[in-house]
Structure 1
Amino acid sequence: MESRVGKLLLIVAANLFSLSLLASAHAETVHFTTEDYPPFNYRDGKTPVGATVEQVQKMMADIGVDYTIDVMPWARAYSQAMTEPLTCVFATAHSEERDKLFAWVQPLFIDRNVLIKHNGSKATAATIDEARKYLVGTWREDYTETILRRNNFPRIDVGSDFKATLKKLMSDRIDLMPISEFYFDKLKKEGHAVQKVTILSQQAMGIACQKDFPSDLQNRMQTALDALIADGTQKRIFRKYGLHLGD
């Protein structure tokens, strides 16, 4: 009899422990980091907004998991996702060099990067090979630095962030800079004096999570993102921000 009671108590204790672990898992919060890069991700006052922010918000609401989104300089955003558990950075280019560094949920969009110049600049290049002779600016920890180095650009100026690099371009302190084609279109619509020079690269932009991110949670996030792509929500979000995705 005592043996039976003891076994029952062990079973009850084990079940309670399992429930405790389950409750703890559900209580976990995913921390998202991103940079100030409108119209994709930026702050309206203190509130994160943008075309990729809305996708993340919708995805997390659909799976019912708590989350935070913080806008910060890209190098810090990227570093936190590399090192801190339950942390993800977006929108991150899924390059060969980064593939094994993160757990991926994608795509938030497919992007092309172009090299641009300030209007009036004498820089001309129909190909990447011709563009190598110029001083090209990028910013710390951005994937475009890797692309430039992979393509053997000999003169690369690395700024603190995107805005600093764009400021250098507009004041002719650098000749060229890589930029999302979406963002280039936005700058043109806003009347900025910039011109497209040549195409640099094309890549999927996704959510890069710390490499030990729980695989079941990663799968749920991917399923939710797949659903909002399939039902047209992703395209509707982009149109809201004046962006148009190809079919």
Structure 2
Amino acid sequence: MLHRIIIYLLIGAANLLGVSTSYAEPPVLEIVACNYPPYELATPEDGLRGFDLEVVKEALSRAGYKTNFTFYPWARAYKMTTEGRAFAALSCSYKAEREHEILWTKPISSMTDIYVVRSDYTGKPVVNKFVIAEEKLAVGNVKGNYISEQWEGLGVTVDLSSSEELLMRKLLDGRVDVIPQVKENYLYYVKKKGLEGKFKIFKAEDNETSKFHLCISRKSPDAEKIRTLFDEKLGEMHEDGTYDAIHARYQ
């Protein structure tokens, strides 16, 4: 009896002090992505979910949030984010024209721009869009990644696909001649599919190696606050070695 009285007194004291006697579940943040190995994988492979996904999940967990990742074609995922139907999308590169609808976190990874052609290509080295125009090559790209302005006035045909995998199949089949690609994604795909020797790559001299970020919708509640927390926890992960440990699993 005395034991029960003590418990009741402790609960009452906690309530008077404004301390909750129950533990609320952490908020769940809905994040959308497209299948883009090794950055994010719609279907885990040997326990790997993609190094960007793992980094984002860990940083937000340290900030006190749970995460739910859902995969869509990129154009749809980005639209859901800008409309506020998803908290954020990954992985995104910075574009000034998106400032009014997106908040970017600090970089979560990097990408190296290349141009990919079939191994039987014999034209000039494809190092920029002007060579592509001169050689009259048909370009393939993914919907949502395509910036029409870069090809305007060059007379270049652009074929848009819903996924990277479909795009690579088109290149193999000769339906397109060249693909602007990310080297990290390309190497993973070729190794996974056993396509070594099927392609040539050229470093894109008209594009610098750039960064990927988590893109947070400006319409998401507490967007600024969560971005600040994310950046802080991402910095901690760099300092304590967690970030490097995640990336080491994909090498």
What TM-score results when the alignment is normalised by the length of structure 1?
A: 0.78
- 1:121 aligned to 2:121? yes
Larger relative helix fraction = 1
Name 1:130's counterpart in structure 2: 131
Q: CA RMSD in A?
A: 2.8
The superposition leaves residues 68-94 of structure 1 with CA deviations (integer Å, 9 ceiling, x where unpaired) of: 111221111111111125610001111
Residues 179 and 134 of structure 1, relative CA distance in 2, 3 Å threshold:
same
The superposition leaves residues 172-201 of structure 1 with CA deviations (integer Å, 9 ceiling, x where unpaired) of: 110100111112222444442121033152
Q: 2:234 aligns with which of 218, 225, 233?
A: 225
Name 1:210's counterpart in structure 2: 217
SS of 1:178 mapped into structure 2 = strand
The superposition leaves residues 140-196 of structure 1 with CA deviations (integer Å, 9 ceiling, x where unpaired) of: 112xx11x6325452211112222111101111101001111122224444421210
**Residue correspondence of structure 1 range 91-106 to structure 2 within 5 A:** 91-106=91-106
Rounded to whole Å, the distance in 1 between the matches of 2:240 and 2:42 is 27
Q: 1:165 aligns with which of 164, 167, 179?
A: 167
**Residue correspondence of structure 1 range 50-199 to structure 2 within 5 A:** 50-84=50-84, 87-128=87-128, 129-132=130-133, 133-142=136-145, 145-146=146-147, 149-150=149-150, 152=152, 153=154, 154-190=156-192, 191-192=194-195, 193-199=198-204
Name 1:44's counterpart in structure 2: 43
SS of 2:109 mapped into structure 1 = strand
Q: Which runs of 5+ in 2 are unaligned?
A: 1-17
| Aligned-pair CA distance for 1:225 | 1.4
| Aligned-pair CA distance for 1:45 | 6.0
8 Å contact from structure 1 (residues 103, 211) kept in 2: yes
8 Å contact from structure 1 (residues 32, 87) kept in 2: yes
Q: Percent identity?
A: 16
Rounded to whole Å, the distance in 2 between the matches of 1:131 and 1:86 is 37
Amino acid at match of 1:211: R
Name 1:14's counterpart in structure 2: none
Rounded to whole Å, the distance in 1 between the matches of 2:99 and 2:113 is 19
Residues 126 and 175 of structure 1, relative CA distance in 2, 3 Å threshold:
closer
Name 1:34's counterpart in structure 2: 33
Q: Which runs of 5+ in 1 are unaligned?
A: 1-17, 243-247
Larger relative strand fraction = 1
8 Å contact from structure 1 (residues 32, 68) kept in 2: yes
8 Å contact from structure 1 (residues 48, 69) kept in 2: no
Rounded to whole Å, the distance in 2 between the matches of 1:130 and 1:151 is 12
Q: Displaced runs of 4+ in structure 1, greater than 4 A?
A: 45-48
Amino acid at match of 2:210: Q
Task: Give the length in aligned residue pairs.
Answer: 220
